[in-house]
C-alpha cells in the first residue's frame, strides 16, 4: 500500500469515529491519525475521498469552514452540519461547543495505528 493510501485509510477510519453533531480541526485530525503537524496533508487527503465520508465534520482550527463563504462546497458543508444539529454562523462553528473530545478508550483502542 502506498503512503497516500495508508494516510487515506487512517483518515477514513478516524472520520468514521467522529460522531454526528461533532467536529474536528484539520490539525486534530492529523494528530488522531498519528501525523502530528500535518494539517495540510489532511486537507489534501480529504480531497481524495469519494465524498461518502464525514469530510464535512472537519474545520479550520478557528472553527471556520475552509471553503470561501458562499461557495457551493461551503454551503454543502454548512447544510450537512446543520442537519446534524451543529450551529453554523457566518461560516463558523464553535469548537468549544461542538468539538469532538474522544474518551481515553477511543484514543487508545480505536485510534491506534
Domain containing 91 — which CATH number?
A: 1.10.10.10
Please say if the pLDDT value at position 82 is more than 90. yes
**What is the domain extent for residue 78?**
3-110
Q: d(Cα 8, Cα 14) in Å, to the nearest integer? A: 10
Average pLDDT, the chain: 90
Q: d(Cα 63, Cα 56) in Å, to the nearest integer? A: 12
Provide the phi-psi class of 21: left if phi over 0, else alpha when psi is between -120 and 50, else beta.
Answer: left
Shortest CA distance to 100 belongs to which of 29, 12, 8?
29
Please say if the pLDDT value at position 105 is more than 90. no
Whether this prediction's pTM lies above 0.85 is answered by yes
pLDDT attached to residue 77: 95
Q: d(Cα 110, Cα 33) in Å, to the nearest integer? A: 11
The tens digit of pLDDT for each residue in 11-26 reads 998 999 999 999 999 9
pLDDT attached to residue 106: 78
In angstroms, the first-to-last Cα distance of the chain is 15
Please name the residues in contact with 5: beta carbons below 8 A apart, sequence gap of 6 or more: none
Please say if the pLDDT value at position 111 is more than 70. no
Domain total of the chain = 1
Provide the phi-psi class of 76: left if phi over 0, else alpha when psi is between -120 and 50, else beta.
Answer: alpha
Q: Per-residue pLDDT averaged across 94-107, rounded?
A: 89
Q: Which of 44-58, 71-85, 86-100 has the lowest mean pLDDT?
A: 44-58
Provide the phi-psi class of 20: left if phi over 0, else alpha when psi is between -120 and 50, else beta.
Answer: beta
pLDDT attached to residue 112: 66
Amino acid at each position: 500500500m502506498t503512503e497516500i493510501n495508508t494516510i487515506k485509510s487512517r483518515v477514513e477510519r478516524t472520520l468514521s469515529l467522529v460522531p454526528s453533531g461533532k467536529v474536528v480541526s484539520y490539525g486534530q485530525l492529523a494528530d488522531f491519525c498519528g501525523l502530528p503537524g500535518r494539517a495540510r496533508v489532511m486537507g489534501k487527503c480529504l480531497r481524495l475521498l469519494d465524498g461518502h465520508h464525514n469530510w464535512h465534520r472537519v474545520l479550520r482550527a478557528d472553527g471556520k469552514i475552509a471553503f470561501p463563504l458562499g461557495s457551493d462546497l461551503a454551503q454543502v458543508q454548512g447544510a450537512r452540519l446543520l442537519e446534524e444539529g451543529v450551529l453554523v454562523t457566518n461560516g463558523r462553528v464553535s469548537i468549544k461547543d461542538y468539538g469532538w473530545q474522544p474518551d481515553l478508550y477511543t484514543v487508545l483502542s480505536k485510534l491506534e495505528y
